[in-house]
Amino acid sequence: MADALLELDSVVAGYGATHVLRNLSLKVFKGERLAVVGRNGVGKTTTLATVMGLTRQHSGAIRLNGQSIDRLPPHMRSQLGIGLVPQTRDIFPSLTVEENLLAGVRNGASIEEAYELFPRLKERRHNGGSKLSGGEQQMLAIARTLMGKPHIILLDEPLEGLAPVICEGLMEVFHALSTQGKTVVLVEQHTRLALDFADRVLILEQGAIVLDASAAELKANRDLLDRHVGVAVK
């Protein structure tokens, strides 16, 4: 199999002295669409935050293109091409849409690219961040991360709390990003949508990967999914 773009090898990480990830190992391959699912509190957000350098890593290794990144601060990981869209969205409420985007511009990115992907943001470009709907805020959070020109984009529950029609629109955007050659890692509670999007799915339980399967395998084996993710699979 090809070399991994991103690799976590026996990573133990958490907050302060607390261990949330317990020997977590995973690989993400270039151009892949990977979904990470699991019950609440199993460590999905912590996994993405650890890749970005936002937690305390106690042991193990994180490599990007084979190079160790686990001692690098978050902004350097971002410069190397990792982009995180946090669950909290983290847009600047007092800045306009355009100012939020400009604040994220790196590596010669153009905000016109963001407007092409999200025409709604262009219409709203002079609106303050706090005046946006939840869906628009999520679009802005994604667009701002894209202004860093990431090769790999980590999406933390981007559909949370959004209307079905908005979710569908965002899923189309994720497909478009994948078609453009970006590697997409999607953490999502909407398991059905995640499975429709992904090539491969990882199931996380208590800070470790308990299942690594193709989306097709999991779709054909609902029992497996229900056992690990819960009967209320959305």
Ligand X SMILES: Nc1ncnc2c1ncn2[C@@H]1O[C@H](COP(=O)(O)OP(=O)(O)OP(=O)(O)O)[C@@H](O)[C@H]1O
What's the closest the beta carbon of residue 16 comes to ligand X, in angstroms? 7
Please report how close the Cβ of residue 87 comes to ligand X at its closest, in angstroms. Answer: 6
By beta-carbon proximity to ligand X, the closer residue of 38 and 135 is 38
Between the two ends of the chain, the Cα-to-Cα distance in Å is: 32
- Closest-CA residue to 43 (of 209, 165, 225, 226): 209
Which helix (H) or strand (E) segment is 191 a member of? helix 191-197
Give residues in contact with ligand X (CB under 6 A): 15, 18, 20, 38, 40-46
Edge-to-edge order in the sheet of strand 67-68: 18-28, 6-15, 56-64, 67-68
Least distance in angstroms from the C-beta of 44 to ligand X: 4
What is the chain's length?
234
Query: Closer CB to ligand X, residue 4 or residue 13?
Result: 13
Cβ proximity to ligand X, 46 vs 100, nearer residue: 46
CB of 105 to ligand X, least distance (A): 29
**Comparison of 40 and 67: residue with beta carbon closer to ligand X:** 40
**b (16+ CB within 10 A) / e for 149-168:** bbbbbbbbbbbeebeeebbe
